[in-house]
Structure 1
Amino acid sequence: MADRVSRVVRQSKFRHVFGQALKKDQCFDNIRITKSSWDSTFCSVNPKYLAVITEAAGGGAFLVLPLDKVGRVDREAPLVVGHKAAVLDLQWCPHDDSIIASGSEDCTVKIWQIPEGGLTANMEEPIVDLVAHQRRVGLVVWHPTAQNILLSGGSDNKVYIWNIGTGDIVSETSFPEVPLSAFWSWDGGKYVASCKDKKVRIVDPRTGNVLKENVCHEGTKPTQVAYLKNNTILTTGFSKMSERQCSLWDENLKNITTLEIDTSNGVMFIFYDPDTSMVYICGKGDTMIRYFEITEDAPYIHYLNMYQSPDPQRGITCMPKRGINVNICEIARFYKLHTKGLCEVIPMTVPRKSELFQDDLYPDTPGDIPALTADEWLAGKNAPPVMVSLKDGYVSTRKTGFVGQVGFIN
């Protein structure tokens, strides 16, 4: 009997990941969050700043808040206001915590450099303006390992790969319908994109050629994609009967497994942690964050648990691993936008009694150093991320008295 239970309930150190929202005074409140109906997370976070797309009259704007400036946000707080229409998507650069890209209904992609310490006045001038899309830009995704390479997708059915350093287009891919989500492979040699025509495509980013394509979910609502470290592809989408699904595919887009989740109607965003092979799935309008572990053996996608709260999420983002608090065994931290202007901070921790650094929870993680220059990548080189140890971020809370006595005896 015990053997049967152990086969059903998979042993995992992440089974008991525990989420608890911080008190309101440790969160961000009074934000005029955008009312846009675009399927975007509406926010992005890194170890220095939180950026949130806001409602703005006569243009597009977003707020940039230093992480230590928690509490009530001043209505007159300075904004990034250079777009002429609503901002639809934004993402911090993985290699420089002061650089952020934004895509807008004004058909442009803009790159901004936030001054040290945050904004003291409205910012109107980007450091780079990328103009090529003929219709609104709803997708911006930085290359994970090469410096200054950015993907943008627009309602003109095009995906452009940009060299930010020169402002040039590296490649262009025309899709039959609007690209809805995109995700780079682990070494940045390919990317996967989902489109409104229900198809998921793997693309060579240097040439723009589509390498593989397949319909992954039969439903008409948007599919989201993630390229996993082992070169499999995870998708969330809808069945013909509008049931929400999560599926795993091989590199030829052949199905490995599909999990039925529920019958809600919100798009499910994927937050992938390559260090632990965990995936957090957050549905728009849901009140929960589900988490799963991806493994090499059947059933491949293992449901672990969920974090539940009374309030639905309007938007959500996840802190890069190098920004989390290893002292409290935190393995993820979410920033969740509520409809009423609150950005709630939700640390996810693994309960442990030990005061030592937990090596098994924190394998090396992608750092902020690019593995390649843009020119090296353009010349055909691929490279995995440059990894860093989180042990340096760990501050020992151990009492020093006993250690001192040992030293004294020696």
Structure 2
Amino acid sequence: MPFSSLGLSPALLRAISDQAWSAPTPIQAVAMGPALQGRDLLASAQTGSGKTAAFALPLLQQFEAAVPQSPRRLRALILVPTRELSTQVGEEIRFLGQHLPRALKVSIVFGGVSINPQMLRLRGGADIVVATPGRLLDLIDHNALSLSGVATLVLDEADRLLDLGFAEELNRILALLPVQRQNLFFSATFPPAVQTLAQVLLRDPVRIEVAPEPQTQPDIEQRVIEVDAAQRTQLLRHLMAQHHWSRVLVFVATKHAAEMVADKLRKARINAEPFHGELSQGKRTQVLADFKASRLKVVVATDVAARGLDIAQLPVVVNFDLPRSALDYIHRIGRTGRAGEKGVALSFVSAATDAHWRLIEKRQGLSLPREQVPGFEPTAVSPATDSDATADLPATGGIKGQRPSKKDKLRAAAARIAAEK
């Protein structure tokens, strides 16, 4: 099926030609028709599937057909969970809209930077806004933006938006939007909170689930290494020296751990930097640029980097700390093995995290052999666990089956709020 069969305008087909896209991806082929017809969508789309174009092209077609307004009136709002994803989505929309007969204004807004430049760029309005929820509300509170004219709402990475605790912000935003609008929900997974939100907000939606094609499955070697928690940094250094990895993305649980592990690696003369949500946007941008250019050998990141980052030819990902959510395991390891490259994903498992790793294996349908590296054999013993105790844990997980975290409670609250509407 060629793009020309989807009913796109010549200006959009020209932008597609500039990208050298030969044919729509499966999610584009299935989603764009209903989106162009104004239908609500609930679509499952994995990272790298081409989902941005699946909603961007219909938005741009609608913009091209709309009557010009002065000042510009916001027509489409795209909510994303992270700064990096907002930039990625916004830039792709600008590129796809570059040949439209009428100039398109796309505003990309996110927190962590001064609000004043973003307010200045919104003077005179905008056609499309790509935003993280918190900064969007800040701009609304400063009277820099109105949502009264929004015709289309897009939730990109809807599961991640709720997982990161944006339930309260989402409900405030939804209350400011027109009741009559098109809603497009794209999500890699459909946890209960997303399903509940979709049931409340979507009107007779077209449900789309495009499974990854077998031949496009990433070639990732998954390994599990048993090691005492105190020996993980030394083991990481040993493996880097043994395998001569050019770059390594290391995932940890907290901002403090990111700073601490990066500092230990620097003391061992390994060029490493932390990457977490409390860094300034300028610092985060610089770290990613240096990592992509191989000026950095190691980036030690919290889950803020689990989605929305496309780092070409990244050879290895290390789960220094296991992800809280079993679902996030897939998002983390998906940073390697991209675009047909081979990759390696290592997970360090200690006695204290053994039960949580078994829960991740169960939820992801994995059964990976345990390894031990000579010189780093663990000495601690796993605590006794009741296998039945983990059976009723929520699908989003909870480390070692402990009581729900703040994020777990926020997810539950989101489902309750949506159910009450």
State the structure with bigger RCO (CA 8 A, min sep 6), 1 or 2. 2
Provide the TM-score with structure 1 as the length reference: 0.27
Higher relative strand content: 1
Higher relative helix content: 2
Provide the TM-score with structure 2 as the length reference: 0.26
